[in-house]
Amino acid sequence: MLFIGICGPSGSGKTTLSEELVRAAGVSSTLIKQDAYYYDFPDCSFDERARMNYDEPGIFDHDLLLGDVSQLLAGRPVTRKSYDFSNYARNDSDELIIPGEVLIVEGIHAFFDDRLCERMFLKLYINVEPDICLLRRINRDIKERERSIDSITRQYLTTVKPMYDAHIRNYIHKADVIVTRGGKNARIVEILAGYLRDALEQKIAQYDAR
């Protein structure tokens, strides 16, 4: 199995790149979104949860994510983690995630945990202008997360932009490949897909030669 990390600011197109890469590579793949690994705060009220900083590194359960990745890399299934963005609460299920030939983890802090980065075969950082990311985020949050313009604006100014400046933009220095123009950069998708197929073929050949 090849483990790929995809990092970048909110609204940069991480999920799109992940899905396009899986499609183009044409191999069995497992996609995990870091957003599914937010800590749960059941003892807090809805308003308290809504005011939390969901863009800081410490809001994610990095140990749980690392544990699931380790299980998948060892060829063992894990239960699917999920997050309900409209209620700011975990929404895990008993559904099993079965390991594929490629494992992709994408998220704004996918490169935060060095333990995770050390296991990645390839680290991709999506570099997109903040203004474009904001427009994409507004469109996504209204359609998919039932947020208002006021709440999106408040969150962007108080947490999203400050956390981008403090942390996320610096992850570019950990990347093996910097992807421009977002997840629909067809040329880079085809190049990366070809690279993954070649790497998998080499891995299989090495295994058969033993």
Pick the range with the lowest mean pLDDT from 53-57, 76-80, 125-129.
Answer: 125-129
Q: What is the pLDDT of residue 209?
A: 60
- Angle in degrees, 0-180, between the axes of helices 186-208 and 14-25, rounded to the nearest 10: 50
Q: What is the pLDDT of residue 210?
A: 60
106-119 pLDDT, tens digit per residue, is: 999 999 999 999 99
Pick the range with the lowest mean pLDDT from 79-83, 121-125, 146-150, 194-198.
Answer: 146-150
Give alpha helix (H) positions in the chain. 14-25, 46-50, 62-73, 114-117, 130-144, 149-155, 161-166, 186-208
Q: What is the pLDDT of residue 150?
A: 77
Q: How confident is the model at residue 54 (pLDDT cuts 50, 70, 90)?
A: very high
Query: Domains plus CATH for the chain?
Result: 2-208 (3.40.50.300)
Checking if the pLDDT of 92 tops 70, the result is yes
pTM for the full model?
0.88
Nearest by Cα to 72 from 82, 81, 85, 61: 81
Q: What is the pLDDT of residue 59?
A: 96
Q: What is the pLDDT of residue 8?
A: 92
Pick the range with the lowest mean pLDDT from 49-53, 66-70, 75-79.
Answer: 49-53
Q: What is the mean pLDDT of the chain?
A: 88
Is 192:21 a contact under the CB 8 Å cutoff?
Answer: yes
